[in-house]
Amino acid sequence: MNQRHLALLAALLAPAALAACAGPLTQTPEAAAPAAPAVAVAAADTATAAAADAKTAAVDTATTAAGSASTTAATAVAATTSAATDLKATAVDTAAAAASATQSAATTAAAPAVTAAADLKAAAVPSAAPTGAAQSIEQLFRDRATLGGKEVTVRGTVVKFKAGIMGKNWLHLQDGTGAQGTNDLTVTTAADTEVGKKVLVKGVAAVNKDFGYGYKYDLIIEDADLTAE
């Protein structure tokens, strides 16, 4: 091999050697290409994490909003219930007050009528008269439990008269008061009279008097004085 051949060989080998020497320091586009997938994966991971964070934040926000809405609704229900209870209590109190006022007004309005009725009743059926005053036959029967042995005065019409029975004259007196059993008063006397006469009788009252022979009386006036009227 001559000098010419060696120079040509050196010229051919120099670029290859230079490329071999420069290989560790620089990379060709083909060598750098494998880094692109790694970047894409990292970006995808970042996007996934961001989406997860956004989802978590959205769920938390929705949960908080729902809790607030529930609390607000509960507060509104409680307020409505309290207001309804207050209204009911007020209505009940108002109704009770109105009823009381109505009853009071009715009582006040009725009082004069009740008093008048009591006065009329008292006038129609007076209580036991003072000693010496004439009483009705109905009064005597009504008060007979307290009259035994006491002198009483009564006036009425003779409806029956029998003379000389057990040494006494017997008469039955009525004055229009009383009912069956309390409207006919038996009287014993030494005086004479006749049926249809109006007389004033004064005598001693006897209660549950039993003469025997069937002559028994719840009330009888004995040994009476008669005054014709």
Q: What is the pLDDT of residues 4-19, one digit of tens each?
A: 666 666 666 665 555 5
Q: Phi, psi (5° rounding) for residue 201?
A: -110, 130
**Residue found under tokens 């290409």:** 33
Task: Say if 95 falls within a structural domain.
Answer: yes
Q: Between 28 and 91, where is the model more confident?
A: 91
- Do both 220 and 143 map to the same domain? yes
**Which residue, among 53, 71, 52, has the nearest Cα to 63 in the 3D structure?**
71
Task: Say if 33 falls within a structural domain.
Answer: no
Spatial distance between the Cα atoms of 174 and 149, rounded to a whole number of angstroms:
21
| Helix H or strand E encompassing 210 | strand 198-212
- Do both 157 and 73 map to the same domain? no
Q: How many domains does the chain have?
A: 2
Q: Phi, psi (5° rounding) for residue 217?
A: -135, 135
Using a 10 angstrom Cβ sphere, with 0-12 exposed, 13-18 middle and 19 or more buried, the burial of residue 156 is buried
Task: Say if 140 falls within a structural domain.
Answer: yes
Percent of the residues in the chain that have a pLDDT greater than 70, as a whole number: 59
- Do both 222 and 146 map to the same domain? yes
pLDDT tens for 189-201 read 999 999 999 999 9
Task: Say if 25 falls within a structural domain.
Answer: no
